[in-house]
Amino acid sequence: MCGLALSHPWTFADIMLETAEVELHVWDSSIDRVRAFVDGHPGAVVHEDFDSLLRVRPDGAMVCTESSLHHTYAIACLEAAVPTFIDKCMVVSRSALAELVDAEERTRTPVFSSSILRYSPDFAAQAKRTHALPRHERLLAQATVYHSIEGYLKPGNEWQDIPEIGGGTLVNMGVHGLELLLLNAGPGVKRVFAAADRRYFTASQSEDVAVIQAQYADGMIGTVRVVGSTILHGYQMEVVSRAGLDSVFIPNDQSRDLLEQYGYRGCVQNFLGMVEGASTSASFADAVHICSVLLAARDSVRTGSWAEVP
């Protein structure tokens, strides 16, 4: 575990310890976060610095630092030939994206980055239905993220609300919706128009509502809505086809395992499979495209115009 900046590494660690024989090694720049992690995972081996962690030559690494630092630690892992998972959002700047792409091309070390939602059985089943349709019969696609940013305005978590560090709401939460959009419509977004505002949490350093319109090369239109100021928590994907509407919302059954519904378990299994040499179901190219779209959306918010996606 390289970094404990979010809650995700706690959950990832719990699942790995439940389902596989693993020895956890952990490093974070905050001793308080390390202590909290070890309290819940007393068997974890603590490293005083990142270099010490890397010297043990781990079989795999999960990079869960502040987003603006992801590329720094991920590149070091790739150069050490350590298969690496990078938490969302993979990067929050074009320079970081370029450095990471270069490192992946040079090292060819397995690496992936993804929203956990890609591994939700509900959304995976919907995507299978979508891809059974001819492309020209997929008319519109819309993903909505309902996730309050209230926790990101508190000390210790506020980095997620700062665009230069955590991407801000548009990027940090928009990545979930864009992952669902690509899961159903594929990559190939050519330009975006985005708008954002502070509707309720006016102290936000980014925004608490945002909309991204994504236009594909073949003309298909996709939408990502991010609602960060509601008490409703969940994720929705709607696909409008010639045959009608296919709408999925999670969580949809509180009696089911929420870690399974959200995709945490599938994400961890994909990581462990990669460590063992299996290919990942989330391609690095898709992660690069998602970041490119999100960074273009941030440009669009700033300029008020359509932005091209490289």
When pLDDT is cut at 50, 70 and 90, the band that residue 63 belongs to is very high
Percent of the chain whose predicted confidence (pLDDT) is above 90: 98
Beta bridge partners of 141: 222, 239
pLDDT averaged over every residue in the chain:
97
Smallest CA-to-CA distance from 29 within 62, 68, 61, 2 is with 2
Query: Domain residues of the chain, as ranges?
Result: 8-113, 116-254+281-308
Q: Average pLDDT for residues 270-288, to the nearest whole number?
A: 96
pLDDT tens digits, one per residue of 81-132:
999 999 999 999 999 999 999 999 999 999 999 999 999 999 999 999 999 9
The per-residue pLDDT for 268 is 97
Nearest-angstrom CA–CA distance, 287 and 211 = 20
Q: What is the mean pLDDT of residues 183-205?
A: 97
What's the count of helices (H) and strands (E) in the chain, helices before strands? 12, 12
Is the confidence at residue 253, as pLDDT, over 90? no
Fold of 116-254+281-308: Dihydrodipicolinate Reductase; domain 2 (3.30.360)
d(CA 104, CA 247): 36
Q: Which residue has the higher pLDDT, 172 or 281?
A: 172
Instruction: Judge whether residue 255 has pLDDT over 90.
Output: no
Residue 112 to residue 278: CA distance in whole angstroms = 12
Tens of pLDDT, residue by residue over 3-19, are 999 999 999 999 999 98
Q: How confident is the model at residue 22 (pLDDT cuts 50, 70, 90)?
A: very high
- pLDDT per position as a tens digit, 208-234: 999 999 999 999 999 999 999 999 999
Alpha helices in 118-201 (DSSP H): 121-131, 163-166, 168-172, 174-185
> pLDDT tens digits, residue range 157-168?
999 999 999 999
**CA-CA-CA-CA dihedral for 267, 91, 170, 139, to nearest 10:** -60
The pLDDT of residue 254 is 84
User: Residue 192: its pLDDT value, please?
Assistant: 98
Is residue 78 pLDDT above 90, yes or no?
Answer: yes
Q: What is the pTM of this model?
A: 0.96
Report d(CA 55, CA 263) in Å as an integer: 31
CATH number for region 8-113: 3.40.50.720
